[in-house]
Structure 1
Amino acid sequence: MTTSTPTATTSLLRLRTPVLAVLGALLLSGGWAPWPTAWLVPLLFVGWLPYLVMERKLTLEGARKGRVFASTYLMLVLWNALTTWWVSYAELAAGIAAVVLNALLMCLPLMAFRQTKKRLGNRWGYLSLPVYWIAFEQLHLHWDITWPWLTLGNGFAAAPQWVQWYEYTGFLGGSVWVWAVNLLLFFWLVSKEAKAKARDMEPADLPNDGSSAPLFTVKLLTPLLVIFLPIALSYFIGATYQEKGPTAEVIVVQPNLDPYVEKFEGGAQFVPYDEQLTRLLKLSEQKLTPETRLIIWPETALEEPYWENTIESNPKIRRVRAWLARHPGVALLTGITTLGSYPNKEAASETARYRDDLGYYDFFNSAAYFADAAAPVALYHKSRLVPGVEKIPPVLVAIVSHIDLGGTVGSVGSQADRTVFAAPANAPALRLAPIICYESIYGDFVGEYARNGATLLGLPTNDAWWHDSPGYRQLLSYGQLRCIETRRDLARSANTGFTGFINQKGEITQRETAWIPTSSRATVHLNTETTFYVRFGELIGRGAQLAAVLLLVVAVVVGWRRKQAAA
């Protein structure tokens, strides 16, 4: 009998289950490194291999369901902890909840895969795995406890030059890519093991017929091509793409007010709201030129609540208008906290609050747009709300209503439509999309702005809730993907964090230093064309959900028939 020398591939198959779980979490974390870098992104292509090996190993051992679940959950909770631990900066309990609950939800598609494989066999089982996972990612974009931070396609945010084809597929195309490579490498790995076992069983004196197979077999060549061909296509698209649309000069402002001690009333070093407004105006004037057409201030730049029905009479709004009157031709987008009232309970929204002295009213995280000094204020209400902070699902009210993730706790109001602000008179191509902070995680959501006619993405945000952590660096990178998907420039104004500009290829063209008061000026392009992804949205996600339902139905029916036959 011959003996085969252990290789890296066969060694992986021999690892213990806990080791595989830890290894999988470490590899998947490569797409969400503390300092985003393209060098670690390739780890995503092997990130699911430890899980696939672990699941196969447990199946062959006939492991109980509890052990399978525990091993799977261990990997997922470690992955979540390694990548989103920074949520705990704002509130320890919230950070723990985000890690524990999201890992639990991630188990659902993996358990569905296990049951499908058991009932329909390996071929349909492994085919169902990416289908269930991407269907889950699509669901995670739209339900009440939405938290799509770890959508696999977001893992390429640190390497936007690799995914220029997101203008066709959106970021879920990246999720398909990750699963395709991982599964192909897994099949190659299993075939290598099978051949190694077959060689060990052959007589030693038989001639070598070449069955040892060179390293670059067809089964290995296929996943390598699946890795490099999309990258090559992306570089080709990036090299030939030209920025589209007329130009306009834009200023973004970073006031650098600490939200824990300076920004909000009651903070230990609270800066009075009049002084905050003075800082915003001064920083805007530092970069102002006769060609400036738009200025963007960050999320909640105007913080003290403004009643929407009396907003025009507010002294600070009048002060802003007076400043704009001294700079004709300049439009302003600012984050603002607003309150909207309702005449009675029947007219109130589901998120409305009640006070004896105020009646029914809604609290909004809003964006206010001044097309010029005289035009009425146009408002947009943030619509993708942070779960547990701005939106509390009814089933979780008792659990998280006391948790402070940063900002106002409880459900705030929102709106159904994506508002695109009208172009100012002297810049007819400038139609602005107000994307507030967390909303920039969502691809199809941002695409709706472009479908509604937006030619520029404006992002007011307040990254300082997460201190100097991976959170705000990753959020910046996600903006690069949204630019590729929509082929729109993005102007980013952070209270503090990263303020600057991203072009239509997802390249950061200008970025100011974090943690200092500053402003930035750039000339942006105003594209009117729409990408395939903008026109048709999440075809991949919706298709995966339909396929997932069909697979589950078939698996259930087959399982039921087997029980009937055995009875």
Structure 2
Amino acid sequence: MSHAFDGADSHVAPVRGGATGPLAHFAQWVILTSGWRRVLIAFLAGAVGALAMPPFGALPALILSLSIAIWLIDGAATGRSKIRGAILASAVIGWAWGFGYLTAGLWWLGSAFLVEADEFLWALPLGVIGLPAVLALFYAAGFALARLLWSRGPARIAAFAFGLSACEWLRGHLFTGFPWNTLGMALGQNLWLMQSASVIGLYGLTLLAILIASAPATLATGETVRGRYGPSLAACLAVAALALFGSARLPAAPTATVAGVRLRLVQPNLNQDAKFRPENRADIIDWYISLSDRAAAPNRTGIADVTHVIWPESAFPFLIQRDPTSLARIAAAFPAGRQLITGAARAEEPLPNERPRFFNSILTISAGPKLGDIYDKVHLVPFGEYLPGPLDAVLRAVGLRQFVSIPGGFTSGARSGQRLLDVKGLPPVAATICYEAIFPGEILPGRVSGGPPPVPGLILNLTNDAWFGDTPGPRQHFAQARLRAVEEGLPLVRDANTGISAVVDPYGRITASLPVGVEGILDADLPVRLPGRTLYAGFGDLPFAAMLAGIGLVALIARRRIA
């Protein structure tokens, strides 16, 4: 077997060394596989890694997944392959690993294609297979970058963490970004471990998660006792340090609440079916009002018992602000001084020679009826809410449209520059709609539009996850939104059509919630924000950049020493 690592490129971990036993034999078998077997192993390893994501949270699955990835990259360098061939082989492995990881983690996207199956069923493979196949190119680049910095022994863990963390950051930012199930969520769903996000954010957790989960790979390939056990010991100490920091940061007492604020979150559990049509607007409005006015306890009187009622994203299949009858029904149900915050599509009158512009918005409505402040969604979902510019005319010419049936799709609210919502009786609201809440660093307006730092008092997330049914999707969505509360030091108020609706304090503790698939109301006080700003709120991804540079330097030095 030793001939496999002789020759042109010696910067690899040896197959043979001090490690013995079943694990070492398994690692050698993985390292020495070739052809389609290597691709299949990479795919299956990636799929296993998805079990570390919410709602499963199986960190050992990620340890197995990334350890196999390390051994596969080890095997990409053989005496018969020059460095370019080794990098290409690593890229193929990375693509297969990423394809498996994303397919297993995002299969539930297929549910959205079944809502209007007569129109979108044909495209189901594009969402379930095509999207993971394209996004897997980021992992191909990450594995290739790691192989470029590869070295003998434990230092190759640093090279792997550098390449994979960099590709995860790029996946979250390039081409509008899609940071769903970023690897840091393996740590970001545990209450103690997630507290470090207040300092290093999701991508800092991602770098640590990769280092921790891939360290046990050396147990099967280390040449010395130190090289074999050292990385795993360091990983255990890192987990312990994260847990100690988290336990020290979490206060024993519940978070104080904002005086004079009582929220009612309405979870209607409305399916996206034939009943949710404009012609049924009266029944839909009556249903929302009836549910909102439902007494939460025998001694309560309904809407009069709370200060703010919240309805989810896209609450109506029509333009509510252009429907005086529906607005009047709402106004009649809301006593003076009570505020309704609701998701709704809205339209602006077009300028001459322009088409009408539609927005996915949050509206505030009070008795009168009186329309208050508005927030228009900035970060739209490609193909879900709009067709990307270069493809728009081509796709529409062949009869295709985005999932949301809005003529021409939604328009981004970025033009207005508004990121905070002014709601009477509440501190300034950092508004997000749907998957806007999964983007680290985009919650606060100062990060996007410049100017003085904002001072919001809460994150509001309105969403409609009915498209995805009772699958891991809504649970993954909630877990990622919850981590934003820790990063920013702000409470999260999340109202979802079919769940999960919840109130989360600025430490990520859930103070009240409704599960997926349940109709109901949730009454809760509003937790106060943390005093000052978290380090992440102040510096964003700069700590992650410093960590990434440091780990990259370690890998580069180790590579140059062997060279």
What is the TM-score of this pair, normalised by structure 2? 0.79
- 1:396-430, CA deviations, whole angstroms, 9 ceiling, x for partnerless residues? 54786666674247652112335322242xx3x53
- Per-residue deviation, 1:463: 0.9
Amino acid at match of 2:269: N
- 1:25-59, CA deviations, whole angstroms, 9 ceiling, x for partnerless residues? 144212225xx144x13433443221111011111
State the distance in 1 between where 2:59 and 2:479 align: 13
The alignment status of 1:108 with 2:138, answered yes or no, reads no
C-alpha RMSD of matched pairs (Å): 3.6
SS at match of 1:73: helix
Counterpart residue number, 2:92: 70
Distance verdict in 2 for CA 1:61–1:52, change over 3 Å = farther
Amino acid at match of 2:131: A
- 1:123-142, CA deviations, whole angstroms, 9 ceiling, x for partnerless residues? 99764543443333333333
State the distance in 2 between where 1:249 and 1:387 align: 36
SS at match of 1:407: coil
The structure 1 residue matched to 2:207, chosen from 176, 182, 185, is 176
State the distance in 1 between where 2:23 and 2:548 align: 36
Structure 1: segments with no counterpart, 5+ residues: 196-212, 266-270, 346-358, 563-567
The structure 2 residue matched to 1:369, chosen from 338, 341, 364, is 364
Distance verdict in 2 for CA 1:296–1:234, change over 3 Å = same
State the distance in 2 between where 1:459 and 1:61 align: 54
Counterpart residue number, 1:492: 494
Counterpart residue number, 2:315: 301
SS at match of 1:159: coil
Distance verdict in 2 for CA 1:501–1:391, change over 3 Å = same
- Per-residue deviation, 1:362: 1.4
8 Å Cα contact 1:160/1:480 also seen in 2: no
- Per-residue deviation, 1:181: 1.8
Alignment of 1:471-490 (within 5 A): 471-490=473-492
State the distance in 2 between where 1:371 and 1:62 align: 73
8 Å Cα contact 1:447/1:485 also seen in 2: no
SS at match of 2:494: strand
The alignment status of 1:30 with 2:43, answered yes or no, reads no
SS at match of 2:319: strand
State the distance in 1 between where 2:391 and 2:220 align: 43
State the distance in 2 between where 1:403 and 1:182 align: 43
The structure 1 residue matched to 2:110, chosen from 65, 88, 94, is 88
Identity fraction in percent: 19
The alignment status of 1:249 with 2:267, answered yes or no, reads no
State the distance in 1 between where 2:323 and 2:530 align: 36
8 Å Cα contact 1:463/1:494 also seen in 2: yes
Counterpart residue number, 1:348: none
Structure 1 stretch displaced more, 484-493 or 366-375: 366-375
State the distance in 2 between where 1:488 and 1:286 align: 29
Count matched residues. 504
SS at match of 1:168: helix
SS at match of 1:333: strand
- Per-residue deviation, 1:264: 3.4
Amino acid at match of 1:336: A
8 Å Cα contact 2:440/2:484 also seen in 1: yes
Distance verdict in 2 for CA 1:418–1:142, change over 3 Å = farther
State the distance in 1 between where 2:25 and 2:102 align: 28
State the distance in 2 between where 1:293 and 1:73 align: 51
8 Å Cα contact 1:420/1:454 also seen in 2: yes
Alignment of 1:502-541 (within 5 A): 502-527=504-529, 529=531, 530-540=533-543
State the distance in 2 between where 1:331 and 1:489 align: 19
8 Å Cα contact 1:312/1:318 also seen in 2: no
Amino acid at match of 2:538: R
State the distance in 2 between where 1:399 and 1:14 align: 49
- Per-residue deviation, 1:364: 1.0
State the distance in 2 between where 1:536 and 1:548 align: 20
Distance verdict in 2 for CA 1:314–1:290, change over 3 Å = closer
Distance verdict in 2 for CA 1:157–1:392, change over 3 Å = farther
Alignment of 1:110-509 (within 5 A): 110-117=143-150, 127-187=158-218, 189-191=220-222, 194-195=223-224, 213=225, 217-239=229-251, 243-244=255-256, 246-247=258-259, 248-265=261-278, 272-287=280-295, 288=302, 290-305=304-319, 311=321, 314-324=324-334, 327-344=335-352, 359-370=354-365, 373=368, 376-397=371-392, 406-408=403-405, 411-416=409-414, 417-424=417-424, 427=425, 430-448=427-445, 451-509=453-511
Q: Which has the higher contact order (CA 8 A, sep 6+)?
A: 1
- Per-residue deviation, 1:99: 1.6
- Per-residue deviation, 1:259: 1.0
SS at match of 2:349: strand
8 Å Cα contact 1:23/1:50 also seen in 2: no
SS at match of 1:148: coil
Amino acid at match of 1:412: F
The structure 1 residue matched to 2:75, chosen from 57, 67, 90, is 57
- Per-residue deviation, 1:304: 0.8
The structure 2 residue matched to 1:41, chosen from 59, 62, 65, is 59
Distance verdict in 2 for CA 1:225–1:516, change over 3 Å = closer
- Per-residue deviation, 1:189: 4.2
8 Å Cα contact 2:90/2:140 also seen in 1: no
